[in-house]
Amino acid sequence: MKRLMALGVAAIVLAGCGQAPVAGLQGADSGSMQALKKAKANGEAAAIERKLQEAQKRFLAPAQRAPRQGMGTESAESHEMAAAMAEMATLHAQMAELKGQMSDELSQAEAALYAEVAELEREAIADGPQKKGALGRMRDAFWHVVNKLATKPTQAYFNKKPKKTDKPAPKLPRFGDGELAQILKTAQPGDVILWGGQTSFVHGSIYMGNGAIIHALANNTPAGPDAQGVFKETIKDYIARVERNRIVILRAKGQSEGDRQASMAYMVKQLGKPYDNIFRTHDEAAFYCTELVYHALKRTANPPKIGMRKKVMGLMEVVTTDDYMLSADFETLWTKNAPEPIPAGN
C-alpha cells in the first residue's frame, strides 16, 4: 500500500533517448542532436504529466462527493468524472505516442503501458455516464490505472535486457513456520501487525487472538483472487496464500484491556464490508487496510496519535503503514527485515 500511496499522486516520468544518429553527423554534432531530442521529449512528457495531474484532480473531486449508495445511478458527478476520464485517456495516449518514438527499451515498455491504461479508461466510459453502474466502473478503472502506473518503473526495468553488470537484489525468504511461531508468541489481541513484501510495507491488520487477524484486502482474499472486502482469517492461512517477508508488530501505549476489546469489537462489526477503492479515510462505509486499523484504534479511551503524511493526488488524506511506525504512541514488539520505527519528529 505504501508504494500505492507514494506513486499514486502522479506516475514517474523516466527519461528516455537513444535515437539513431542522423546520417552525416559525427562526434559532437551527433551528440548535440541527441541531447536536443532528449530535452524536447522530456519537456513534452513533463507537460503531459502536469495536464494529467489536473485531470486526475477533476476526476477525484466529484468522486469524493458522490454518495456510495448512488454508485449505480446517473448523476452530475458521473458526467464530471466521465469528462475527466476522457481527458486522461487522451493524455495517456499522447504519452504512449511520445514514448513510442524513442528507441530505447525503457521508453518502449512505457509506451505499451500508457497505451494499455488509455484503453482501460476508454472502455470505462464507452457506454456513457448515464449507463447504470457507470460511476462505479469509472472509479474502479481509475484505481486500476493508478496501480498499473505505480509499478511502471518496475515493469520497465524487467522489460529491458539485463546488462552483464546487473545484480539482482537479494531475495528475502517468505515467512514460514518459524516466523508464524514468533508472531503467535509475541502478539496479543488488539496489537497492530504491519506486513511487507520484498521492498516495502504494504498492509496493516489487527491481531484478534487465537492465531487470527482481521484486515481489509483489495485482492487475493480468502474468498478468491479477485474478491475484496474485510475478512477474518488465520495468520497461517494468510502467509501461505500471500508472500510476506517483512513484519512489524506494534502495541499502542497506555491501553487498557477495555480499550483493546473495544478495538477488536469494532473490527468484528466491519466484517463483510467492501474495500475502499477511493481512499475515503474518514468514511466508514468501506475500508482500505490501514484505514480499518485507524478507525478501530479511535474507539479506545486514549487513542494513539497517528499523523497522516500522505495525500492521494494531492487531495485525499490517507493513513499509511509509515504513519504507524513513525508514531511515538506505539511500542515495537518485534520486527523482521525492517528497521526500528523512527521516533516521532525525526
Q: What is the pLDDT of residue 295?
A: 97
CA dist 241 → 172, 174, 222, 236, 244 (Å) = 17, 11, 9, 9, 9
Domain locations along the chain = 2-18+27-159, 177-336
Pairwise CA distance, residues 104 & 113, whole Å: 15
The single residue listed with the C-alpha cell 476522457 is 86
User: What is the chain's pLDDT, residue by residue, as a tens digit (346 residues)?
Assistant: 333 333 333 332 222 222 233 334 344 455 566 667 767 777 888 899 889 889 988 988 887 776 554 445 567 888 999 999 999 999 999 999 998 888 777 778 788 888 988 999 999 999 888 777 788 888 888 877 876 675 454 344 344 444 555 555 567 889 999 999 999 999 999 999 999 987 678 899 999 999 999 999 988 899 998 889 999 999 999 999 999 999 999 999 999 999 999 999 999 999 999 998 778 898 899 999 999 999 999 999 999 999 887 765 555 688 999 899 999 999 999 999 875 444 433 3
Question: Which residues, in sequence order, are bridge partners of residue 229?
Answer: 217
Structure confidence at residue 236 (pLDDT): 97
Buried b (16+ CB within 10 A) or exposed e, 101-136: ebebebbbbbbebbbebbebbbebbeeebeeeebbb
In this prediction, residue 9 carries a pLDDT of 31
pLDDT at 11: 31
| AA identity, residue 318 | V
Residue 290 contacts residue 196 (beta carbons within 8 Å): no
Confidence (pTM): 0.60
Q: Which CATH class is domain 177-336?
A: alpha beta
